[in-house]
Amino acid sequence: MSVGGGLRPAPAGTVGTLTPLELGWEPSFEGRNGHYAIGGWYSSAPRADAMQPLPIHAGGSTALLRTGAYGGWASAQQQLTGGSGSSDASGLRAQLAFAQGDRRTGDIDQMVSLQLIQTGTVRSRPDDRIGFGLASTRVNPRAAAFQQRRDGGALAAREHVAELFYGWQPARGLDLQPGVQYVRHPGGLASRKDAVVLGIKADVRL
């Protein structure tokens, strides 16, 4: 048994640590609650660089690794209207989020989204909600350049998504949310045809 090891931020057997930090503010404007946050993360674990030598693991070459990856985010949620007052979420709520990743290592380096959700669509359905959202995801330019150099073809840039959904509770403990998405430039490639995606999300609580 060994003694005297002291406090080790990275326990034996691990390859690194992931450290997140977030600062938040929760104001209330005339009874309409909001949540605002800004944060970041740092990882000491080695990660593969987004741009690798070609070919990888062939002819004696090895993958290029980076250490000290980092990123950040900011988000804002605000109740805009009071609605029927049946719950804290009743009325119109707006959500805005932004995330920035490490351009040295990530395939995706930036995401931004905006969402509007109305809870209490009619008086008889106070918990139903209808929402509309927009999102944009950027392929890391370094990763896109590497993929183009490796595979050829067009250079990937941004993918844009618009979504419309409706959520309701047909029974106690069951929440269903069907929706439709319109995807422009799938995978960030302008050469790809736009797509329409239908889906449904179910939340079951026993």
Give Cβ neighbours of residue 157 (< 8 Å, ≥ 6 apart): 138, 139, 144, 185, 188, 189, 190
The single residue listed with the structure tokens 């370094």 is 142
Per-domain residue ranges for the chain?
Answer: 18-204
pLDDT band at 1 (very low <50, low <70, confident <90, very high): very low
SS3 sequence, 153-194? CCCCCEEEEEEEEEEEEEECCEEEEEEEEEEECHHHCCCCCC
pLDDT in tens, 66-81: 888 999 999 999 999 9
User: The tokens of 197 are what?
Assistant: 């995606």
Side-chain half-sphere of 75: how many Cα atoms within 13 Å?
18
pLDDT for the residue 11 = 59
pTM here is 0.81
Work out the mean pLDDT of the chain and round it to a whole number.
88
Kindly report the CATH class assigned to 18-204: mainly beta
Nearest to 75, CA basis, from 23, 119, 118, 133: 23
Nearest to 99, CA basis, from 135, 45, 124: 135
Beta bridge partners of 158: 138
**Does the structure show a pLDDT above 60 at 19?**
yes
Least confident window among 9-18, 33-42, 159-168: 9-18
Instruction: Say how many C-beta atoms besides its own lie within 10 A of residue 69's C-beta.
Output: 20
pLDDT for the residue 124 = 79
Nearest to 129, CA basis, from 171, 179, 172: 179
pLDDT band at 16 (very low <50, low <70, confident <90, very high): confident
**Does the structure show a pLDDT above 50 at 150?**
yes
